[in-house]
Homo-oligomer: A and B are copies of this chain.
Amino acid sequence: MSGNIAAKPLQRAEIAKRTGCNLETVRYYEKVGLLPEPPRTEGGHRAYDANHERRLRFILRARELGFALDEVRTLLRLVDERDAPCGEVRDVAAAHLRDVQTKIADLRRMERVLKETVAQCADGARPECPLVESLFR
């Protein structure tokens, strides 16, 4: 046969390197029930397969988009339990989108005020600092 294509269905914990995820984070996801416990080698090392990696990538991508782990859990449950979870998944994502938009609005408010106050201090040499005063107001 040309190489050991089917001979190694299990990869080592290079899953971390392949996904760019910290190995301790992978174990954390296992501990909190987002990843299934993988089989072990005789020595007790975890042996992940392609499905673990696929699931981990799902988690990491959702995290990049700012989903909380609890939301990720919900999404994965929907994917695992339903055949066509599209509507429910969309609801979770839409709710998260609203959260993100709220956070953006909050941060923009902060940004505006910070800009104003920093600008008032532009010279940086006055005895009474307008920035400090505005914090004490």
Residues A50-66 near B (CB distance < 8 A): 54, 57-58, 61-62, 64-66
Complex CA–CA separation, A101 to B104 (angstroms): 10
Segment at the interface with B among A6-14, A22-30, A123-131 = A123-131
Segment at the interface with B among A31-39, A40-48, A107-115 = A107-115
Which chain B residue shows the least CB distance to A121? B90
Contact of A104 among B64, B111, B134 (CB under 8 A): B111
Chain B residues with Cβ below 8 Å from A93 are 114, 117-118, 121, 131
Question: Does the CB pair A132–B85 fall under 8 Å?
Answer: yes
A86-B135 contact, Cβ under 8 Å, with A100-B114, A117-B93: no
